[in-house]
Chain A
Amino acid sequence: MTAYIAGNSHVICLVGAARESVAGRATHLKAKRVAPRHFAVGDTGIFFTGITKDLLTPGIFGAVDQGSLKFTDQRFQQDLAEWTGEKTVPATSPWGLCNVGNASRRLYRDAMWRTFAPTHLAQGGLTPVTDDAIRAMLESDHRGARMVYERLAVLGIPAFAISGPQPRRAHPAMTEDGYRPELLLHLDSLAREVWREWLAGRGLALIEPPAEAADADGFLRPEFENVREEGEADRIHGNELYGELMVARIAEHVARQNP
């Protein structure tokens, strides 16, 4: 069984991990190359679709016809044909969507936290906000992501969610916006909780980062942080080492679901 992976920029470390593994440089992952973008971990195939944030809308999943999932995006169909010789994928193949929903960067960095704070952090004139109200904000923020899963459910396509990594110590919410680590950790924890609950309510699995990827405070451990050699510093993403742990988990999940 091959799982198709789409998602935002947090997919990059997953692809990187698979490539590193093929090159024999991985520590925690044994992957083989099947075709460009297509890897095998044991008996499980993992296909990185390249469908990223902008393309990943409910509308891209057009219809299921004679057991095949068709796409509405012509460019993607052509790319797919080029990579696989097919313009569709089997409707029984699961889709893993990475970090679409479990973090809410917009909310973490919102200017409102200059005047509001979760109740336990509301000191120094900050207006307290209950976790219930923050959850309502997160649910609103997750609406778009939910629609993608809902579309897949309508089409009968199996899906699961892949979490992004824990927040990093140099997350821009702290280094650029000046927010306290406690605020970011609290929001992130609520975001993951809201997302986990929503998925669980629909019987959808969530592949979460392993606990060992986080330090005692809950931040991503430094050895799992992606470092850019050029350009703006990366303060968000995990590296290939982190990707290895996640790809192994994804393969394990797909194999378990499709024995």
Chain B
Amino acid sequence: MHPYEDLPSRAFWKQAVAQRNAMELADVYVPRFEISRTTRITAAGSCFAQHIGKQFKKRGYRFMDVEPAPVALPEEQHNKFGFGMYSARYGNIYSARQLVQTFARARGEHTPVDEYWTDGERFYDPYRPSIEPRGYSSLEELRIHRDAHLRAVSSLLAQTDLFVFTFGLTEAWENLEDGTIYPTCPGTVHGDFDETRHRFVNFRFRQVLEDFESFIAYARSINPAMRFLITVSPVPLTATASGNHVLPATVASKSILRAVCSELHDTYDFVDYFPSYELVSSHPMRALAYEPNLRSVSAAGVAQVMDVFFSAHGDAGKPEPVREADKAVAPTMPEQTADDVVCDELILEAFGR
């Protein structure tokens, strides 16, 4: 007798992976806790997290949105103005540090020294540079919108039972003076890069872990019963500033984030991990879930991943017809795939030689 004798087939590579269709893996995810349609769900993270949030909404879950779009704004314009992407208009939050700082700003405990970017005519929020595509007409307007946004964010955690976060990147740019993390490198989407004020950071395992643990501590100080669902985005880096080749840089980054997820999952019984990363990017998938650029996740890939998630939660409801949404945007926005996800960092692709 030995411990492997009684293990289920999902524990064996041959039966669970090699002998199965890669797109139909069974029991790859066993939920740690129930998510019901009354669970108040909040989402944040890198652009892949938008898929998760959208699916929760479309399937009738209680997805929180403290900054809903005005009803007269047509739905096809929501993403353009950062509405409906997440539970507030904070845009993509790629790192745990950025997440922590976003909520610290909301409760007035962190005020970045870099308040705005301007091109001389329009004003941009450095921490949500794409939320208004043309920016604001004045600094005063920027402040009014920023303050309203932060007020909304400050109310979010008290209305949350489940916080969903998708870890995206370990690479980021920070302000040298106060350590504030920018969602995009200054000078790419908007703003100007200044090496005396901006610095590249590549978060290490311990930093990411501590940042997220500090977020957990804060969130549970608001709601002690709050639970967390964490994932890693399967979308590779568009570009790396680490000095390494982008492939090993991506693997290093994702490996760190994946390891942090395991650490959090193993440490806290109120943290669940959903393997979207493995379902898209691991080698048994043979890159089937990616678009030809091997970066963007295809509509079919997203649908399959989300099906696994909701099936595991006993929700076999019809998945969102992502193909239709995809078709609608394909002609004008070739880089946006699968349900029109907005990824700020895609701008980096334009700088590749």
Which A residues contact B (CB, under 8 angstroms)?
Answer: 106-107, 110-112, 116, 119-120, 122, 127-133, 136-137, 140-141
Contact = CB atoms under 8 A, between A and B. Distances in A.
Contacts of A116: 70
Contacts, number: 54
B145 interface: yes
24 contacts: A111-B71, A112-B72, A119-B144, A122-B144, A127-B67, A127-B148, A128-B145, A128-B148, A130-B132, A130-B136, A130-B145, A131-B137, A132-B132, A133-B70, A133-B81, A133-B132, A136-B74, A136-B77, A136-B80, A136-B81, A137-B70, A137-B72, A137-B74, A140-B73
Which DSSP category, helix, strand, loop or mixed, fits chain B's interface? loop
Contacts of B145: 119, 128, 130
Contacts of B70: 112, 116, 129, 133, 137
Interface string B54-88: 00000000000001001111100100110000000
A129 to B, nearest CB: 6
The 8 closest A-B pairs by CB, nearest first: A140-B74, A137-B72, A136-B77, A112-B70, A119-B141, A116-B70, A112-B71, A128-B144
A132 B148 contact: no
Interface residues of B, number: 18
A107 B133 CA distance: 22
Interface of B: 67, 70-74, 77, 80-81, 132-134, 136-137, 141, 144-145, 148
A128 B74 CA distance: 17
A174 B150 CA distance: 31
Given A128-B144, A132-B134, 4 more contacts: A107-B72, A129-B70, A132-B132, A132-B133
A110 B71 contact: yes
Contact of A122 (B77, B81, B134, B148): B148
Nearest to B138: A119
Contacts of A110: 71-72
Contacts of A127: 67, 148
Nearest to A115: B70
Contacts of B133: 132
A132 B73 CA distance: 11
A127 B136 CA distance: 15
B146 to A, nearest CB: 10
Contacts of A119: 136-137, 141, 144-145
Contacts of A140: 72-74, 77
A112 B67 CA distance: 13
